[in-house]
Chains A and B, each alone.
Chain A
Amino acid sequence: DSGVTQTPKHLITATGQRVTLRCSPRSGDLSVYWYQQSLDQGLQFLIQYYNGEERAKGNILERFSAQQFPDLHSELNLSSLELGDSALYFCASSVSLGEGAEGYTFGSGTRLTVV
């Protein structure tokens, strides 16, 4: 157990729908990062939050949004889902704004299947 908790582990939904993925960072970590990993593809950075504020944005579609709550858990919202959004979505956390001494810790991911 890495200490980063992601729920749900699996999600199957239809095109056009909206889903919410949840991430609880490791205790003491203030930064949360979201990544997308499509089949046989590398990890793509989506967005980062630090202590409730958005700090960096990667290749995140306008249909996707995220937020980090006062208790530091984060949610990634995916709307108007398309077949191509099927992927593993990982959350990672770190102590500081950038890379902490302990580095980044990844959760086990949420596997999203859009049918």
Chain B
Amino acid sequence: KNQVEQSPQSLIILEGKNCTLQCNYTVSPFSNLRWYKQDTGRGPVSLTIMTFSENTKSNGRYTATLDADTKQSSLHITASQLSDSASYICVVIQTGANNLFFGTGTRLTVIP
């Protein structure tokens, strides 16, 4: 069964600290994996796109990793800011199909 699981479900960190969010998937065949940031009541916004051959990709303070062998991805946030408070959603896309599989997200709260 194609699934995407994220952990932790929620996370509270102090401003300026780093954190890492995890995504494990069983989707096959694999096309690519995306991390989205979703502010409360808003639509998801793409942060990174990881293809099969990419291990690490950075977007500012966000760094995503992908291990296609173990089917795991992580999103590392450096020097967190209050504006990082949001849900972070991992999405895995199947090859050759229009199927997107969404994780339920990690809700990150950054406190001063």
Contact surface of A with B, Cβ cutoff 8 Å: 2, 4, 31, 33, 40-45, 48, 55-56, 88, 90, 92, 97-99, 103-109, 111
Contact = CB atoms under 8 A, between A and B. Distances in A.
Contact of A106 (B45, B49, B98, B104): B45
Contacts of A40: 104
Contact of B93 (A41, A43, A55, A99): A99
Contacts of A45: 99-100, 102
Contact of B103 (A33, A42, A92, A111): A42
Given A88-B41, A90-B43, A111-B41, A41 B100 contact: no
Given A42-B104, A42-B105, A43-B102, A2 B43 contact: yes
Nearest to B44: A106
Nearest to B36: A106
Interface in B31-55: 31-32, 34, 36, 41-46, 49
A4 B93 CA distance: 21
